[in-house]
Amino acid sequence: MTLRLIGFSLFSFILGAALFGALTTRVSTVNAQDDRTADRAAIRAHIESIFQAFINKDAAALRATHAVNWLGYLEGSRTMIKGVDGYMDWNQVDPKSPYGMKSYKFREFDMIFKGDAAFVCFVADVESNWPGAPPHRALRICDFYTKNNGNWIQNGSDTALHQESLEEQLASPRVVGDQMKKRLLDAREAVWHAWFAGDRATLEKLIPQETVAIETEENNWSNRQAILENSENFAKSGGKLLKLEFQKTEIQMYGSTAVVYSNYSYAIEYGGQTINKSGRVTEVFVLRNGQWVNPGWHMDSGK
């Protein structure tokens, strides 16, 4: 019995020592993260200097804060940006420009370490005066840092518009530039002309599957299939468009969606007669893969 008690006590001692050692190791690891106060302060100061370089329009200072082989994505970039030269080309810091960043404020700022590497996440509220852009936007940023010769430097980043700013932009009216307006109105004209011409190929390109339309006749709701069939029947019956005019057009644009309000009039030849029609129409257009498509409209006779 005595031997058993001694064995049990020894086993308990060893188990306790092992658990204590594991706990100590875990605490040491946590403390190692928490004790890197100087590194945390240095990295934050480095990121602050990047923002200050943008505010001061100091291209040399901005370049110096990024590694030669920098890699990442920046706000609005569709493809990967490689190297500090690519980074500088994207940002185009011009000390003569009256536009740029005015101020910033950090929130949700934190980082984790693995040796001489650090992963930093934060949100930056930025005030700027870019033409056509909102004065305030929130950026969601993840930076990758390494420590070389005692100094921290940014090796990569993923910078994107924060969801709250994205939602604000999508809900705010956009200015429609002359080139975009022309493309939009050209697409509108193409839909009308294609319908009267029975041009199914063009209509299939410009009218998506989910299209819903309310025509001039009372309670006449149409879908894509009905629109294509009506167009084909009009052309087969010998109908021809003689004139099409939009006397007044107003456009509202939100994100990639444009709402086009118009007064219209047209003349057609149908059944040996000339028929004139006029009224109002509200049309919805969405920009998809560089092409304006027309998923809905509501027409009335204007009476």
Q: Walk me through the domains of the chain, giving residue ranges and CATH numbers.
A: 36-170 (3.10.450.50), 178-300 (3.10.450.50)
pLDDT, position 303: 61
pLDDT, tens only, 60-73: 999 999 999 999 99
Binning pLDDT at 50, 70 and 90, where does residue 279 land? very high
Output 14 or 142, whichever has higher pLDDT.
142
**Contact partners, residue 274, CB within 8 Å, separation at least 6:** 242, 267, 268
| H-helix segments, 57-197 | 59-64, 83-91, 163-171, 178-197
Q: What are phi and psi of 53, to 5 degrees?
A: -65, -40
Q: Report the mean per-residue pLDDT for the chain.
A: 89
pLDDT of residue 4: 45
252 pLDDT band, cuts 50/70/90, is very high
Between 46 and 24, residue with greater pLDDT: 46
| Residue 31 banded pLDDT, cuts 50, 70, 90 | low
What average pLDDT score do residues 250-265 get? Answer: 96
Helix/strand/coil percentages in the chain, nearest 5: 40, 40, 20
What does the pLDDT read at residue 219? Answer: 67
pLDDT tens for residues 225-244? 999 999 999 999 999 999 99
Mean pLDDT of 96-101: 91
pLDDT number for residue 10: 47
Question: DSSP secondary structure string, 231-282?
Answer: HHHHHHTT-EEEEEEEEEEEEEEETTEEEEEEEEEEEEEETTEEEEEEEEEE
If you count DSSP H runs as helices and E runs as strands, how many of each does the chain have, helices first? 8, 12
Cα angle for residues 156, 69, 166 (degrees, 5° grid): 30
* Percentage of the chain lying above the pLDDT 90 cut: 77
Mean pLDDT for 284-294 is 96
Position 142 scores a pLDDT of 98
